[in-house]
Amino acid sequence: MYFISTRGKKEKIKGSQAIINGICSDGGLYVPESFPDVSDKLDNLVNLSYKDLCFEILKLYLDDFTEEELKNCINKAYDDKFDCKEIAPTVKVKDKYFLELYHGPTCAFKDMALTLMPLLLETSLKKNNIKEDIVILTATSGDTGKAALEGFKNLNQIKIIVFFPKDGVSSIQKLQMQSQEGDNTYVVSINGNFDDAQSAVKTIFNDEEFKEILKNNNYILSSANSINIGRLLPQIVYYFYSYFDLVKNKHIKLKDKINFTVPTGNFGNILAAYYAKLMGLPVNKLICTSNDNNVLYDFFNSGIYNKNRELILTSSPSMDILISSNLERLLFEISSRDSEKVNNLIKDLNNKGLYKLDANMKKNLNSFRSEYANELEVKRNINKVFKEYNYLIDTHTCVAYTSYMKYLKKHKDCTPTVIVSTASPYKFSKDVLYSLGEEVNNFDKFEIIEKLSKFSHTEIPYPIKKLKTSLILHNENCEKDEIKSEIKKILKM
């Protein structure tokens, strides 16, 4: 298996090199040269544990890793850091299915890949005899930052620098990042929004002069965002695992089709579901859901991607994004892998802030549907789900739930559907408790967490509980145009 660029196909490299590089030299994203077809092997995969399934899927892509190397990384990643043995359980709540992806060390779905990706990178460095230190540069809208910091802490030969929007994450997300331990971890808030941070980081990745300065100081840049193929590939696994969960529990028969409804910001999570479908997982529709920042909803319904709008800060901050980086990989597939078309669309996005799909590309979006949920609907439905089902969901999961209910009403599609639950409600305890009709003003974040636990009769996850005694270790702040100088300062260059 080789990996190529969405923008030119000039590079053709193995998985370990793609993981080290993070982004292609032409600014494109790495994609598999082809997708392995496992549709006739589903029988053999259905009863595997999460770890074994992960191995069977990843070995198809990362075939330059030995079996021992890959299994070693997987076994270290999915251990007792997760608070349930299934790692990613799909739970039936009355007539709905929720894929719970928040049982890891930071209580968000990013753990599913970011417990494994750092180990894949560490192994890749050894395999390729890389002597320089790797600098992981990441912009986060909340959850990636903490999960990446936790995954990369104290690894040899790697430093990680995370930038997050000062007022664009929840108080718990902020505290999780600012209290991060590890000699190689650095956290900086910026005066701007997530798109400002992401754009600055992407510019740095394409700055050949700056990369040369880094190289002269014995550093190589890489990324932990889902633009890194080593982050995206592990996410494919939980879609297969969830499907097999439904089969094993006799909710569906093997080869029956299902839908997935995914709360979507940077597009990596739902793209992994699309990759699973391309591999032969029986998927009917992928329902891409947005909050008030509904640029993706508009894209799927009109074929026009238009970022020319104000970013709205919502109660689901991990989705407060106007530039979905991973969408480029989808453009590559729906254009029949025409990198010239991809380049022209990205050029239009950079120059005009929008692009329009041609008729063929729009037709190729048929696997997707899209809906969005506004703030009032999210508040109302967190309350409704708890009252009717005695099931507590966070704001992002509620965007997916609300959007699915709209989809159901509109399309009358009775295909079994899994709602992807991306974060613990305790990461967004203030908004969740407020949605339940409880008083949140004049209480600090920890009092709110305690109130939520008592009101809902649910247990506070340990990673959230321990924050109460955590020390603030990172308090750096910079302007959005100072990110490069901040990096130089951290690396003492």
**Strands, E, within 402-459: which ranges?**
417-421
* Element housing 78 (H / E): none
DSSP 278-332: HTT--EEEEEEEE-S--HHHHHHHHSEEE--S-----S-GGG--S--TTHHHHHH
Classify residue 131: in a domain, yes or no. Answer: no
Helical H segments across 217-264, by residue range: 229-248
Residue 320 lies in a domain: yes
Q: Which two tokens stand for residue 15?
A: 């998985």
Which whole-number Å values give the CA distances from 288 to 29, 35, 248, 404, 425, in the listed order?
A: 21, 22, 26, 9, 21
Kindly state whether residue 147 falls inside one of the protein's structural domains.
no
* Structural domain includes residue 76: no
Answer yes or no: 110 catalytic: yes
Of 12, 23, 10, the closest CA to residue 329 belongs to: 23
Report the distance separating Cα 58 and Cα 81, nearest Å: 21
Placement of tokens 């939980």 in the chain: 238
**What residues are paired with 135 via a beta bridge?**
159, 221
pLDDT at res. 141: 78
288 contacts 264 by C-beta, under 8 angstroms: yes
Q: Residue 289 forms beta bridges with which residues?
A: 263, 371
Task: Note the residue count of the chain.
Answer: 493
Residue 84 counted as domain residue: no
487, containing H or E segment: helix 483-490
> Which one-letter DSSP state was computed for residue 422?
-
- pLDDT tens digits in sequence order for the chain, 493 residues long: 999 999 997 889 999 999 999 989 899 999 999 999 999 999 999 999 999 999 999 999 999 999 999 999 999 999 999 999 999 999 999 999 999 999 999 999 999 999 999 999 999 999 999 999 999 999 887 778 899 999 999 998 999 999 999 988 888 999 999 999 999 999 999 999 888 988 888 889 888 899 999 999 999 998 888 889 999 999 999 999 999 999 999 999 999 999 999 999 889 999 999 999 999 999 999 999 999 999 999 999 999 999 999 999 999 998 999 999 999 999 999 999 999 999 999 999 999 999 999 999 999 999 999 999 999 999 999 999 999 999 999 999 999 999 999 999 999 999 999 999 999 999 999 999 999 999 999 999 999 999 999 999 999 999 999 999 999 999 999 998 999 999 999 999 8
Residue 326, Ramachandran bin (φ over 0: left; ψ between -120 and 50: alpha; else beta): alpha
Q: Which of 9, 59, 71, 110 is catalytic?
A: 110
**What single DSSP character describes residue 108?**
B
pLDDT of residue 202: 85
Rounded to whole angstroms, how far apart are CA atoms 442 and 445?
A: 10
Q: Tell me how crowded residue 443 is: count the other CB atoms within 10 A of its CB.
A: 15
- Using CA atoms, how far apart are residues 35 and 16, in angstroms rounded to an integer? 17
Q: Which of 226, 223, 240 is nearest to 87 (CA)?
A: 240
- Residue 303 in any domain: the answer is yes
Give the model's pLDDT for residue 167: 87
Domain CATH for 398 = 3.40.50.1100
* Count of the separate structural domains present in the chain: 1
Q: Which residues of 389-411 are buried (b: 16+ CB within 10 A; e: fewer)?
A: eebbbbbbbbbbbbbbbebbeee
- Which residue from 427, 350, 409, 408 is spatially nearest to 142, judged by alpha carbons? 427
- Which residue from 323, 316, 251, 252 is spatially nearest to 289, judged by alpha carbons? 316
**69, part of any domain:** no
Strand 96-100 versus strand 133-139 pairing type:
unpaired
The amino acid sitting at 415 is T
Cβ contacts of residue 36 below 8 Å, gap of 6+? 1, 60, 61, 279
Amino acid identity of residue 14, one-letter, is K
Q: Which domain holds residue 239?
A: 90-105+230-463
> What gap in Å lies between CA 196 and CA 156, rounded to an integer?
30
Domain annotation covers residue 380: yes
